[in-house]
């Protein structure tokens, strides 16, 4: 082979050389795009998330594949999810926007409802009736009631995890306010509504007490309104003297605000009173037990037989009773609180089905805080899984 032929073989051909240059430039361009693509997607995702969150959807996330967006997260409704998708679609640089398969719709939970909270005063006797969400709130209510009470205190405080806490801080002030006025008075708080009931000496006293109760309630409940249902006690006129003329009170004598009518029917000797019913109830309760299987709130046949005897005592009476549910010490506290309350409610529901007024039944759960036997043995734990029934004598 001649020298000229060798040189011709080594000389690059123009077409092949040009194609090689084009391929090289394409490879470099693809490499540069690949290196830049991820930062671009991250930038688009950041702008898209800001757009969504400006509409109040703080839980939304957005991912990009090139310029195609996918929305993820939890939304209160499908309408909110679609609004988020549209917000992403309007982001500059986004080509398409779709909802991801992992979208979750979870309606916003409504706040727990509060049960009516009742403060009743009769002289130096204070009664507080409330339903609270947990044991801590129960102790707060009873503590506030004890601080406000100067005499007899009756606490009818039950636990129900599904309710909101009552306005405990208003209790002491309202109780003290009610005790400044003679007679029976009651305040019922339901949300921001405050109902004031009872009797007073005159209209001026009714107005003053209503204004004070409103001011005390608004310290804790700024939006509180008062429905003043106080009545004025009537003064019975003096009975006419012989001959028909009315006898005026002697100088310095005090005219009674009310006089008991001696001709009205009076309780007969031996008539049923709350105290007498409470005594019979205690005797019947002592004849049996209401116990439960592990992790159960189902009444047994023996439980129902015992409750039938109790219902026979309560059915025709006005006596209120406390049904206290208990659990053994196994399991977490929150489970025992729920289970003990469920047991008390099961017993209360059965009594109501047997004709006992549901208004007179108070169910409360005390978890495993008050064992009657040791929790170290199965027999002891079985005894602790119980409902105890006792009278609430006014």
Residues 79-134: pLDDT tens digits? Answer: 777 888 888 888 888 888 888 877 776 654 444 556 788 888 887 788 888 888 88
Q: Give the Cα separation of 218 and 224 in Å (integer).
A: 6
Q: For residue 249, is it within any domain?
A: no
Structure confidence by residue, pLDDT tens digits, 43-62: 777 887 788 777 666 667 88
- The position carrying tokens 């019979």 is 280
Range of the domain at 151: 117-232
Two structure tokens written together for 330 = 């196994």
Residue 85 lies in a domain: yes
pLDDT at 7 over 60: no
Does 92 share its domain with 138? no
Query: Could you give the angle at which helices 169-179 and 203-220 cross, rounded to 10 degrees?
Result: 170
Place of tokens 């916003």: 108
Pick from 121, 280, 286: nearest CA to 209 = 121
Question: How many domains does the structure of the chain reveal?
Answer: 3
Q: Could you tell me if residue 237 is inside a domain?
A: no
| Phi, psi angle pair for 323, to nearest 5° | -105, 105
Q: pTM (2 decimals)? A: 0.37
The Cα 213–Cα 195 span in angstroms is 10
Maximum distance among all Cα pairs of the chain, rounded to whole angstroms:
168
3-state secondary structure of 92: coil
Q: Is residue 100 domain-shared with residue 142, that is, in the same domain?
A: no
Q: What tens digit of pLDDT does each residue of 301-314 get?
A: 999 999 999 999 99
**Three-state SS letters, 319-354:** CEEEEEECCCCCCCHHHHHHHHHHHHHHHHHHHHHC
Question: Which pLDDT value is given to residue 244?
Answer: 44
User: Sorting pLDDT into bands at 50, 70 and 90, what band is 140?
Assistant: confident
186-207 pLDDT per residue, tens: 999 887 888 999 988 888 888 8
Tell me if 213 is assigned to some domain. Answer: yes
Instruction: Count other Cβ atoms within 10 Å, centred on residue 349.
Output: 15
Give me the helices (H) in the chain, please. Answer: 3-10, 14-53, 78-89, 135-148, 169-179, 203-220, 274-285, 301-314, 333-353, 378-384
203 and 312 together in one domain:
no
Is position 166 within any domain?
Answer: yes
Do 172 and 99 lie in one domain? The reply is no
Q: Report the alpha-carbon distance of residue 32 to residue 25 in Å, rounded.
A: 10
How many other CB atoms are there within 10 angstroms of residue 103's CB atom?
19
Inside any domain, residue 257: no
List the one residue out of 61, 66, 62 whose CA is nearest residue 36: 66
**How far apart are the two ends of the chain, measured CA to CA in Å?**
129
61 and 160 assigned to the same domain = no
Given a contact cutoff of 8 angstroms between Cβ atoms, the answer to whether 38 and 65 are in contact is no
């Amino acid at each position: 082979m001649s020298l000229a032929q060798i040189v011709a073989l080594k000389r690059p051909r123009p077409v092949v050389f040009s194609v090689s240059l084009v391929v090289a430039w394409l490879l470099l361009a693809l490499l540069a795009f690949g290196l830049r693509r991820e930062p671009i997607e991250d930038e688009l995702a950041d702008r898209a998330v800001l757009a969504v969150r400006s509409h109040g959807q703080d839980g939304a996330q957005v991912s990009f594949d090139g310029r195609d967006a996918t929305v993820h997260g939890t939304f209160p409704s499908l309408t909110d999810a679609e609004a988020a998708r549209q917000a992403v679609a309007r982001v500059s640089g986004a080509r398409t926007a779709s909802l991801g398969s992992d979208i979750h719709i979870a309606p916003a939970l409504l706040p727990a409802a509060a049960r009516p909270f009742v403060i009743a005063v009769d002289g130096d006797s204070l009664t507080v009736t409330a339903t609270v969400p947990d044991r801590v709130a129960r102790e707060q209510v009873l503590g506030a009631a004890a601080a406000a009470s100067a005499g007899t205190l009756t606490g009818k405080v039950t636990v129900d995890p599904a309710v909101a806490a009552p306005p405990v801080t208003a209790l002491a002030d309202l109780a003290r306010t009610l005790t400044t006025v003679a007679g029976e008075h009651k305040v019922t708080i339901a949300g921001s509504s405050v109902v004031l009931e009872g009797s007073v000496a005159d209209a001026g006293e009714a107005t003053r007490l209503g204004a004070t109760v409103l001011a005390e309630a608004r310290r804790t409940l700024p939006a509180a309104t008062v429905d003043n249902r106080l009545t004025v006690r009537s003064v019975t006129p003096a009975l006419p003297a012989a001959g028909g003329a009315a006898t005026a009170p002697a100088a310095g004598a005090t005219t009674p605000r009310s006089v008991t009518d001696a001709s009205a029917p009076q309780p007969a000797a031996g008539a049923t009173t709350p105290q007498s019913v409470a005594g019979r109830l205690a005797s019947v309760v002592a004849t049996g037990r209401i116990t439960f299987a592990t992790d159960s709130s189902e009444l047994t046949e023996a439980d129902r037989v015992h409750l039938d005897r109790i219902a026979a005592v309560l059915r025709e009476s006005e006596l209120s009773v406390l049904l206290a549910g208990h659990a053994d010490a196994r399991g977490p506290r929150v489970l025992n609180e729920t289970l003990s309350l469920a047991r008390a409610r099961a017993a209360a529901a059965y009594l109501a089905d047997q004709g006992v007024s549901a208004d007179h039944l108070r169910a409360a759960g005390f978890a495993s805080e008050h064992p009657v036997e040791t929790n170290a043995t199965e027999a002891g734990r079985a005894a602790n899984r119980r409902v105890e029934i006792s009278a609430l004598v006014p």
